[in-house]
Structure 1
Amino acid sequence: MNPFSRSLIPMLLVACGAVSARADDKADVLAANTQVEQAFSKLDVKAIEATWAQDGSVSVIHPASKVPIAGWEAVQKSYADHPVRYKDFSVVMDNPQIAVNGNIAWVVGVEKVYAHRANGDVLDISALATNIFEKRSDKWLLVHHHASRMP
């Protein structure tokens, strides 16, 4: 094998995603996913916003969504009234499964959601969930969240 080929192969493997992510990327993605849960559980809109990439590429599908919500303004609006709608809110993903490919990562699992609505109703559901993160400026930011109630 000539020297050019030896240097080209590692570059091709990286470009094709065949080289594994940094060892601590999975831990960083888990930490980002936990930040999302904590922000929601605190009903802290500013903290929720800080976990998201804030551009037109983001999207969310809530358990009660009738259609996908796309673009930062629409996603932001879908969360803005949480502190008004809920007295308390808790979300935790059991046994999150994390995969990383370059600057994209996804976390799948079952979210346990428990909340008291402002009207006194109790929300106690499990939802199949997917969180997709993109690494931007060395920070893992949410670009898509999808949660569907379990049958």
Structure 2
Amino acid sequence: MTSTGFATSSDAENAFYAAFSRGDLAAMREIWLDASHTSCVHPMGDRLLGTPAILKSWETILKNTGDVIIELSNLSVHQGPRTAIHTLIENIHVQDETEKVFQFITTNVYEQTSAGWKMILHHASPMPRDISQEKDPRPVVH
């Protein structure tokens, strides 16, 4: 891959979610840094290392998902000189017989290269159930 990066980490993030929502694998390829240290963890999935494995997973996902509407919320950005960490909640609307909304807690990391900003990590986990109304919530274990 020899594509140029993006002017800001936010531009890279916007391009990532646009590619995801359109099911555009070619655009998705442009977002990821082609490096062995790239990593991706899809919800309930294994850790994928390296751009080839990551893009193969996105090819499968995009081929089987179709168009989706993705709303982002609770965005927090920590920007360093060469690395940016974005944490957020993905609200993914999928339409079949009925509309379903899936929520994921997500961390995206971007690296500034000589060509611009590129994604180096996407990690999404299912939103935990709402335990605020439970009488005896289970403890959180890490």
2:63 to 84, 87, 93: 84
Deviation of the 1:126 alpha carbon? 0.7
Structure 1 partner of 2:131: none
Distance 2:100 2:47 in 1: 22
Higher relative contact order (CA 8 A, sep 6+): 2
Q: List gaps (5 residues or longer) in structure 1.
A: 1-26
Structure 1 partner of 2:102: 125
More helix by share: 1
Q: 1:79 to 1:123 in 2, by over 3 A?
A: farther
Map residues 39-118 of structure 1 onto 2, 5 A cutoff: 39-65=19-45, 67-116=46-95
Deviation of the 1:33 alpha carbon? 1.0
Distance 1:36 1:61 in 2: 15
Structure 2 partner of 1:9: none
Larger radius of gyration: 1
TM-score (ref. length: structure 1): 0.73
- Number of aligned residue pairs: give it: 122
Give 1:143's aligned amino acid: I
Give 2:66's aligned amino acid: K
Distance 2:41 2:99 in 1: 21
Q: Indicate the percent of aligned positions where both proteins have the same amino acid.
A: 25
- CA RMSD, Structure 1 to Structure 2 (Å): 1.9
